[in-house]
Amino acid sequence: MDLFYGTSFEEHVKAFKKDLKAMAAATGEDLGKNVFIAFGKPEHVGNCLLVVGPPLKKDEKPFHDKYSKYLLQTINDFSLPNTIITSCYLIPKEQVSKIDIKNFSGWINKIIDIFQPRLIVVLGEDAQFAFLKRKCILRDCHGQVITSHGEIPVIASYQMNYYLERSEFEDPSYKEYIRQSDWNSIAITYKEKIK
């Protein structure tokens, strides 16, 4: 946090948004007036779970789709009130590549510096690329610590669309079992790390 010594949280966020707009403009993207970087309460800074979700979609308002609402419901179901949510790629595009996400990981590091979480959860294989050089196969590592960011554990889980979208051959009770298992594991670590 030495980088931001002597400035307020609001000033960190304002500077981050300004830099993000400039970076987006350099790549031909216009973020408009309202730049999204995270969803949560400022009073949770320094004592929170940071959820890093999939890339933002172009022409969608962040946290107004059914998957975001299900994520918020899941956070509530497992009593994780000190949670801040962001995306692994904050410049809305039609298609975001793994290279885009890897190149954006420095920005994720800045978000971590600003929000100072005690636990990080990455949702889906795309979000893993902000922290890993190569992805973990989710079926093998979901609900587990896959790496750490300094001393902050990083746990992998599925994106919310995994639970809500089912083919006729998939068992909904199995997906609910996976959700319960992953988020119970997250909740246990949350209670250890977040006061």
pLDDT exceeds 70 at position 2: no
Q: Is residue 72 in a domain? A: yes
Quote the pLDDT of residue 4: 46
Which residue type sits at 127? A
Structure tokens at 135: 């992805």
Query: Into how many domains does the chain fold?
Result: 1
Dihedral (Cα; 28, 108, 78, 63), 10-degree rounding: -10
Beta strands 145-149 and 152-157, pairing class: antiparallel
What are residue 193's phi and psi, to 5 degrees? -100, -30
**CATH number assigned to the domain comprising residue 63:** 3.40.470.10
DSSP secondary structure code for residue 142 in this structure = T
Tell me the percentage of the chain whose pLDDT exceeds 70.
Answer: 97
Instruction: Express each pLDDT in 45-70 by its tens digit.
Output: 999 999 999 998 887 777 788 999 99
Half-sphere exposure of 168 (CA within 13 A, CB side): 0
Instruction: Express each pLDDT in 117-132 by its tens digit.
Output: 999 999 999 999 999 9
How confident is the model over 79-97, as a mean pLDDT?
93
Domain boundaries, position 63: 39-193
Q: How far is CA 96 from CA 39, 178, 179, in A?
A: 21, 27, 26
Q: Is residue 20 in a domain? A: no
Q: Is residue 15 in a domain? A: no
Q: Which helix (H) or strand (E) holds 49?
A: strand 49-53
Structure tokens at 110: 């800045």
**Rounded to a whole number, what is the largest CA-CA distance in the chain?**
56
Give me the residues paired with residue 53 across strands.
Answer: 87
81, 46 contact by CB (below 8 A) = no
Q: Is residue 92 in a domain? A: yes
Q: Is residue 143 in a domain? A: yes
Quote the pLDDT of residue 160: 95
Instruction: Express each pLDDT in 136-184 by its tens digit.
Output: 899 999 999 999 999 999 999 999 999 998 777 778 799 999 999 999 9
Which pTM does this prediction carry? 0.92
pLDDT exceeds 50 at position 1: no
pLDDT exceeds 70 at position 3: no
How confident is the model over 30-34, as a mean pLDDT?
83
CB atoms within 10 A of CB 14: 13
Q: Is residue 13 in a domain? A: no
Quote the pLDDT of residue 85: 96
Quote the pLDDT of residue 83: 97
